[in-house]
Chain A
Amino acid sequence: MFHKIPKEQNLIVILDDDKDVQFSLDSLLRSVGFTTFIFSSTDEFLTTPLPPQACCMLLDVKLGNVNGLDFLEEMAQRGLTLPVIIITGHGDIPMAVRGIKSGATDFLSKPYKDTVLLNAIADSLEKWRNNQESQEKKKQATDYYATLSQREKEVMECIISGLMNKQIADRLGISLITVKIHRAHIMKKMHAQSLADLVRMSEYLNLHNKEISRYKNK
C-alpha cells in the first residue's frame, strides 16, 4: 500500500479530543512509517502553524462543543487546504453527504479496520496529489494568460474554438499576416508546444466561448 512514503510528505495531522483514540492512531500510523502531529482541540490546531510535510488530516466529528463538520467548513473559509478524512462514532448518510460536500476526501466510522483507514489515507493522498497537480497547471496557465495583450486574448479565444486563420482575420477585421504573428506570439507566451497543448490550457482557464464556432460563423 505504502511502498515508499516520501519524506517531504509524511506527516498526518490527528484532530480528536479523545486521548486514547489519538494515541492508538499515532501508534498505527507510526508503525507504517508516517509521523504524526496531534491536536486535541480546534483552537490548538488553528494557533499552531503546520509544517510543510503535513499531507493529510484525520478529523473527529465530536470535538467537545465543536462539531467537526462545522470546523471543516471553517477550514475551507480560512483557506486551509489539506485532504481531510472524517472519522465519526455514529455516522449516518446525511452526515457523510455533508462531510463530502464540505470537501472531505473520505468518511470512516469507528471502530475501523486498520487496512480501511490506511487505504483511505492512501486514496486521499493520491487524489490530493492529482488535484494539486491540476491546481499547479491552472495557476501556471493563468499566469501565462495574464501576459497576453487584449488582442492576443481575442485571437486565442478564436483559435481554441477551432477557427482557421482566415476566419479569424475576417471576424476580427485584421489581416491574415497579423493573425499569424499574433498566433506565434500566443504560442510562445503560453509556452504551448502544439495546438492541443493550448486547448488543454484553455480548459483550465475556462475560456471556451460557445458563440464562436467554425461552422456557424460561415
Chain B
Amino acid sequence: MRHLSLLFIVLLSLSIFCFTLLPPRHDAFSVLYVIVIFLVSQAASRHVIKLIACLCIGLSVFSFSLVHRDDIVHGPYTRLALSIFAILLVTLLALRNQRITEALAKQKRILAHADRMLTLGYLSASIAHEINQPLTAIRTYAHSGVRWLKKTEPDLTEALHCFGSIEKNSQRAESIIGNIKNLAQKKSGIPEQISVHQIIQESCDILKNEISNKKINVIFNPSGQDIQFCAVRIEIQQIFINILMNAIQAFKESIPNNFIHIRVYDMTDRENFFAIHVVDNAMGFIEATPENIFDAFFSTKQNGMGLGLTICKGIIEAHGGRLIAEHNKLKGAKFIIQLPKHVS
C-alpha cells in the first residue's frame, strides 16, 4: 500500500517533469508540483515533505534550464519565480496543517490517558483488594513454612511447598501490577493482532470486583469462531472497560438479577465487519439520550468527567468503525460496536 502510493508520487513527479519538456515545452506546468506536495503531505512526516518540496523546486529549475537553454539569460524568470512561490506556499500550508494534526493527536492521547487514569482511580479499591490476596497468601505461607521447619521433626516437603507458593504468589502480585502499569502508561503502543474474545475476557477480569459488588451476572459465551483483528491493544481495552464500567455504574442496587450481556458476531449486512453488543438491564438513559451521551463532558454522574464515551467513539471511528447507543427493549441500555476486521 505504502509502496504503491510512493510509486504513484514518483510517477506523477516524473510525468510533470516530462510534461514541461514535451512540446510545446511549457515550463509553466511546474506549478503542478503542488499536487505532489499535497499528496505527500497526507501521509509523510514533516522532514519528508520538506525534502520533496526541495526536490520539486530542483526539478522546476532543472526543467526551466532545459527548456530555455538557448536563451537562458532572457528566460521568463517571473514564471519560474511564481511556480517556486506556489510550491513554497503549499509546502508551508502542508507543514502547518501537519503540525496542527499532530497537536490534535497529542491532545487526544493526553485525554485518553487522563481517562485511563480516572478509571484506575475508580478501580483503586479493587486493585488494593486484588494485590492484598496474593500478599495474604505470601505472608501466611511464610509463617507456615517457618512452623513446618521448627517442628521437632521438620517437614521439608511441606516447607518446600510453602516456598514454591510464595514464589507463585509474588508472580501473581507482579502480574496485577503489570496490568496497572499497562493502563497507566502514556504511550498507547503499536497495533498488534488481537483476539476479540480474549480482550473482552481481560476487561471483565479487570472489573471483576466491581461486577461482583453489584452482584452482576455477566453473560459472555464466546461461542463460534473467535475474531482476530489488528489494533492497538490498550485502545481497544479502553473501549470495553469504559462501556462496561458505565453499565456497572448504571446499576443502582446490588440484586441477583442484574445482568450484562455481551455478544460478538460477524455482520451479515457489512462485509468484513464484526459487531459487539453490550446490553445491560440497569436504569437505562435517564436525563440523557442515546445521542447526547457521546458529547464531550456530558455526564449525569456526580463525579463523572463525561469523557468515557467520547473517547470510545473517537477510538472506534479512528479504526473505521461505528459506536451506537440505543434504549434496550425492556429496560437498560444497549451499546453496539462495529469494527472492520482488517484495519490498515
A residues neighboring B (CB under 8 Å): 18, 20-21, 23-25, 27-28, 30-32, 62, 64-65, 89-90, 110-114
Contacts of A89 in B (CB 8 A): 128-129, 132-133, 136
Query: How far does the Cβ of B164 sit from chain A's closest Cβ, in whole Å?
Result: 11
How many angstroms between the C-alpha atoms of A27 and B135 in the bound complex? 15
Q: Is the CB of B144 within 8 A of A28?
A: yes
- Establish whether residues B132 and A24, one from each chain, have CB atoms under 8 Å apart when the complex forms: no
A24-B165, A27-B161 known; A110 vs B132 contact (CB < 8 Å) = yes
B143 at the interface (CB under 8 A from A): yes
Cβ of A20 and Cβ of B135 under 8 Å apart?
no
On whether the beta carbons of B147 and A31 are closer than 8 Å, the reply is yes
Beta-carbon contacts under 8 Å, B129-154 to A: 129, 132-141, 143-145, 147-148, 151
- In the assembled complex, the Cα of A32 lies from the Cα of B151 at a distance in Å of 9
From the candidates B144, B169, B212, name the one contacting A62 in the complex (CB within 8 A): B212
Q: How far is the CA of A86 from the CA of B65 in the complex (A)?
A: 92
Instruction: Tell me the smallest distance from the CB of A87 to a CB of chain B, in Å.
Output: 9
Contact of A20 with B143 in the complex, beta carbons under 8 Å: no
Name the 8 nearest CB pairs between A and B, nearest first: A114-B143, A24-B140, A28-B144, A31-B147, A111-B136, A20-B137, A24-B137, A110-B136
Question: Is B224 interfacial (CB-CB < 8 Å)?
Answer: no
Q: Give the complex CA separation of A32 and B146 in angstroms.
A: 11
B residues less than 8 Å from A18 (CB atoms)? 133, 137
Given A28-B140, A31-B158, A64-B212, CB of A23 within 8 Å of CB of B129 = no
Chain A: minimal CB distance from B106 (Å): 38
If the complex has contacts A20-B172, A31-B158, A65-B215, are A111 and B132 also in contact, measured as CB distance less than 8 A?
Answer: yes
**Residues in A neighbouring B148, C-beta threshold 8 A:** 27, 31
Interface Cβ pair total, 8 Å cutoff: 84
Those of B103-128 within 8 Å (CB) of chain A: 125, 128
Q: Which of B173-210 contact A (CB under 8 A)?
A: 209
A111 and B139 within 8 A (CB)? yes
A114 touches B147 (CB 8 A): yes
Of A18, A65, A112, chain B has the most CB atoms within 10 Å of the CB of A65
Selected contact of B141 from candidates A24, A90, A112, CB within 8 Å: A24
Assess the A113–B143 pair: CB atoms within 8 A. Answer: yes
Residues of B within 8 A of A (CB): 125, 128-129, 132-141, 143-145, 147-148, 151, 155, 158, 161-162, 165, 168-169, 172, 209, 212, 215-217, 256
A24 contact set on B, CB distance < 8 A? 136-138, 140-141, 144, 165, 169
Beta-carbon contact of B147 and A28 below 8 Å: yes
A43 to chain B, nearest CB (A): 13
Task: Specify the chain A residue showing the minimal Cβ separation from B209.
Answer: A62
Asked whether, in the complex, the Cβ of A21 is within 8 Å of the Cβ of B212, the reply is: no
Do B144 and A27 touch across chains, with their CB atoms under 8 A apart?
Answer: yes
Whether the Cβ atoms of B147 and A112 lie closer than 8 Å is no
Q: Which residue of B lies closest to A18 (CB)?
A: B133
Cβ–Cβ < 8 Å partners of A31 in chain B: 144, 147-148, 151, 155, 158
Chain B's closest residue to A26 (CB) is B144
Contact residues in B for A111 (Cβ distance below 8 Å): 132, 135-136, 138-140
B134, B135, B140, B168: residue with the most chain A Cβ atoms closer than 10 Å: B140
Closest beta carbon of chain A to B232's beta carbon, Å = 32
Inter-chain contacts of B155 with A (CB < 8 A) = 31
A-B contact pairs, 8 of them (CB 8 A): A20-B137, A20-B172, A27-B144, A27-B161, A31-B158, A65-B215, A89-B136, A111-B139
Q: Closest approach, in angstroms, between the C-beta of A90 and any C-beta of chain B?
A: 6
Partner of B168, one of A20, A28, A64: A20
A27 to B168 CA separation, bound complex (whole angstroms): 15
Across the interface, name the chain A residue whose C-beta is closest to B132.
Answer: A89
* Chain B residue nearest in CB terms to A27: B144
Bound together, the chains give a CA A30 to CA B125 distance in angstroms of 32
Task: Give the docked Cα–Cα distance between A23 and B135 (Å).
Answer: 13
A20-B147 in contact (CB<8A): no
Residue of A nearest to B169 (CB): A20
**Are A20 and B134 also in contact (CB < 8 A) when A31-B158, A90-B128 are?**
yes
- Which of B161, B162, B217 is the most central at the interface, judged by chain A CB atoms within 10 Å of its CB? B162
Residue of B whose beta carbon sits closest to that of A87: B136
Q: Which residues of B contact A114 (CB under 8 A)?
A: 140, 143-144, 147
Residues of B within 8 A of A27 (CB): 140-141, 144-145, 148, 158, 161-162, 165
Complex alpha-carbon distance, A111 and B169, angstroms: 13
Question: Which residues of A lie under 8 Å from residue B172 when comparing CB positions?
Answer: 20
Q: A24-B136, A27-B144, A111-B135 are in contact. Are A62 and B129 (CB under 8 A)?
A: yes
Interface pair B136/A90, CB less than 8 Å apart: no
A-chain residues with CB within 8 Å of residue B136 when the two chains form the complex? 21, 24, 89, 110-112
Cα distance A64–B211 in the bound complex, in angstroms: 9
Give CA–CA (A24, B163) in the complex, Å: 11
Residues from chain A with Cβ under 8 Å of B140 in the complex? 21, 24-25, 27-28, 111-112, 114
- Given the complex, which residues of A lie within 8 Å of B134, measured CB to CB? 20
Minimum CB–CB distance from A71 to chain B (whole Å) comes to 13
How far is A50 from B138 in the complex, measured between Cα atoms in Å? 29
Taken together as a complex, chains A and B put the C-alpha atoms of A8 and B158 apart, in Å, by 24
